[in-house]
Amino acid sequence: MARVAVVTGGTRGIGEAISLALKEAGITVAANYAGNDEKAAAFTERTGIKAYKWDVGDFDACAAGVQQVEAELGPVDIVVNNAGITRDGTILKMTRDMWEDVIRINLGGCFNMAHAVFPGMRSRKWGRIVNIGSINGQAGQYGQVNYAAAKSGIHGFTKALAQEGARFGVTVNAIAPGYIDTDMVAAVPADVLEKIVAKIPVGRLGQAHEIARGVAFLCSDDAAFVTGSTLSMNGGQHMY
């Protein structure tokens, strides 16, 4: 029987690439999304991967979403916490709501999803949790104290939960992408993007499928001895 994975924010950008990579690995994938029903439907039609709508920042919604996935597809063996938002601004311009929104979704979503699946993984003695951090959680970034704090928190969350899961066959790891060629990065002004690329030793943006292949490895049986680790995938921009 195929393993079942939930990929949060799994219908667009890096999340879509992760959903497809796991499907190619023979895993049954449920792609979570938060907002755009039309785009989610188009994703399902294009990929054959079923999309499920809930807010990862809502503790009860995550529990109910996982319960629905398990009723329809089977026990969840893998969770990829990819969902995230930005609400950028310097601290003088950042409102409390901008802070709370990013922490609630980007970091709180990891807790909510892990809490929903961890008991089952532990009882079955097998599980994979992969959290998507960021280079900006490692190095910081001007105008992103909320985002950097949330992503940095993800790296600490990963190391702590890994210690709880290790003896039960549940691994917990993170990937910290650098600048990836997605719609969000494409929206950056051309002159700014040129300066960003100039700081990347390999001389280009990353590709979503490259991040997805790293996730696929961490979700595999071959990665059973890897836990509490953060894999930096940033083209050498920040060596951590």
Spatial contact of 94 and 235, defined as CB atoms under 8 Å apart: no
Question: Is-catalytic flag, 147?
Answer: yes
List, in sequence order, every beta strand (DSSP E) within 178-229.
Answer: none
Structure tokens at 181: 């060629």
Spatial contact of 127 and 117, defined as CB atoms under 8 Å apart: yes
Among residues 33, 52, 142, 147, which one is catalytic?
A: 147
Spatial contact of 124 and 70, defined as CB atoms under 8 Å apart: no
DSSP state of 12: S
Pairing of strands 127-132, 170-177: parallel
Spatial contact of 158 and 184, defined as CB atoms under 8 Å apart: no
Give me the active site residues, please.
147
